[in-house]
Amino acid sequence: MSEKALRDLNTIPGSEKKNESSSKGSFIKPFVGNMDENVEECLKKNSVSLVSPQMNGNETANPEVDTGNSEVEYIESENLNDLEDVDASLETLLASLDSKNWVMVCEALNNVRRLSIFHKEAMLDMLGDVIVLVAKSLKNPRSAVCKTAVMTSADIFSAYNDNLIDSLDPLLTQLLLKSSQDKRFVCEAAERALVAMTKWVSPVLLLPKLQPYLKNRNPRIRAKASMCFCRSVPQLGVEGIKSYGIDKLIQIAASQLSDQLPESREAARTLLLELQTVYEKFHDLESTTVSEHQPDMDSWENFCQSKLSPLSAQAVLRVTNIGREGLVLGS
């Protein structure tokens, strides 16, 4: 190298030398932006995969691709493992459920599921507050949070049964909404949660909660509520249906026969056939008290005509007669 070139090199400022040498080797780009930047946006920019928290080799999951290129794995209830530190999880649970960090919320929801399965007594005192926050997550526009909250709801129903009845309304409203919306994988999960609800919550307590939704302005919500109502009634049993009031139940079912959506009408038809079967069962048991001269006074037809308007009675009898004929032909 010439003497002039050496002199030129020595006159370059130190900062420029550093930049020149950096360009020739590895260069770590510094963080640019606000450190408090929304976590969700950071994850979107970096396409970070989110794996459900506290998973290990024993937990398997069903992967779904969520908005923002973030892969979320949803763990089925039977594959959830117990918490390592129950007390610590309980201490931070409500704050984590209410976090603005959606990853933290998903982790907290899965912890609610673990507590419901393995330590339900430990969470009982805060169950009402937990349900309010789970319902809040059901409203979250991010499908990962929403579906995890739906799965959490199913585990809560399974664990707490009638203990949650006073806190049920927020969950019920949101699950009916989610089960009637267009995101298929969220919709299907919500329907499974509603099935769990009708399985684990006593029908005597659940049916009054469902009734207002049968008159909801949204036809899809009415349809989902009708399906829940139809599934719940048979769990009363013959004596339970009689005690609850078969006349009340037949009036509810009859009102759904003319509903807008076929799901509502089909649920009503199924329920009416169930009520007819139950009515005839306890009518047969009491038939010895009926006068021989008035054998038809307590028939299903007369019962319907005495409890319903003429048009409603006609519609109900048409459904039950067709249903009965179908059963006879199919036997």
Q: What would the pLDDT profile of 279-291 be if each residue is shown by its tens digit?
A: 988 776 555 444 4
Q: Taking Cα atoms as reference points, which of 270, 226, 278 lies closest to residue 247?
A: 278
Q: In Å, how far from its chain's centre is CA 97?
A: 17
One domain, residues 44 and 145: yes
- H helices present in 68-123, as ranges: 86-97, 102-118, 120-123
| Over residues 241-265, mean pLDDT | 94
pLDDT for res 57: 38
Q: Taking Cα atoms as reference points, which of 144, 132, 215 lies closest to residue 185?
A: 144
Task: Read off the tokens for 29.
Answer: 């780009």
One domain, residues 226 and 168: no
Round to whole Å and give the CA distance between 193 and 100.
25
Q: Does 29 fall in a domain?
A: no
Q: In Å, how far from its chain's centre is CA 124?
A: 20
One domain, residues 188 and 313: no
Task: Read off the tokens for 72.
Answer: 């979320």
Q: Does 309 fall in a domain?
A: yes
Phi, psi (rounded to 5 degrees) for 63: -75, 140
One domain, residues 186 and 219: no
**Final residue of a structural domain among 150, 169, 201:** 201
178: domain CATH number is 1.25.10.10
One domain, residues 235 and 270: yes
One domain, residues 138 and 256: no
In tens, the pLDDT along 307-331 reads: 999 999 999 999 999 756 554 445 4
Q: 3-class DSSP state for residue 61?
A: strand
Instruction: Assess whether pLDDT exceeds 90 at residue 46.
Output: no
One domain, residues 64 and 127: yes
Task: Please tell me the total count of domains within the chain.
Answer: 2
Round to whole Å and give the CA distance between 145 and 152.
10
Q: Does 17 fall in a domain?
A: no
One domain, residues 291 and 331: yes
Q: 3-class DSSP state for residue 151?
A: helix
Q: 194, 220 in Cβ contact below 8 A?
A: no
One domain, residues 255 and 307: yes
pLDDT for res 55: 39
DSSP E strands, 21-100 = 61-66, 70-75
**What's the pTM?**
0.75
One domain, residues 43 and 163: yes
Q: Does 1 fall in a domain?
A: no
Round to whole Å and give the CA distance between 161 and 198.
10
In tens, the pLDDT along 135-189 reads: 999 999 999 999 999 999 999 999 999 999 999 999 999 999 999 987 888 999 9
Phi, psi (rounded to 5 degrees) for 2: -75, 160
In tens, the pLDDT along 97-146 reads: 999 999 999 999 999 999 999 999 999 999 999 999 999 999 999 999 99
Round to whole Å and give the CA distance between 74 and 100.
20
**Final residue of a structural domain among 178, 201, 224:** 201
The count of other CB atoms within 10 Å of the CB of residue 234 is 18
Q: What residues make up the domain containing 238?
A: 204-331
pLDDT for res 164: 95
Q: Which helix (H) or strand (E) holds 316?
A: helix 310-330
Q: Taking Cα atoms as reference points, which of 155, 157, 153 lies closest to residue 177?
A: 153
Q: For the chain, what is the mean pLDDT?
A: 80
Q: In Å, how far from its chain's centre is CA 172?
A: 8
One domain, residues 197 and 244: no
**Final residue of a structural domain among 201, 229, 244:** 201
Q: Does 195 fall in a domain?
A: yes
Q: Does 307 fall in a domain?
A: yes
One domain, residues 160 and 232: no
Q: Does 5 fall in a domain?
A: no
Q: Does 18 fall in a domain?
A: no
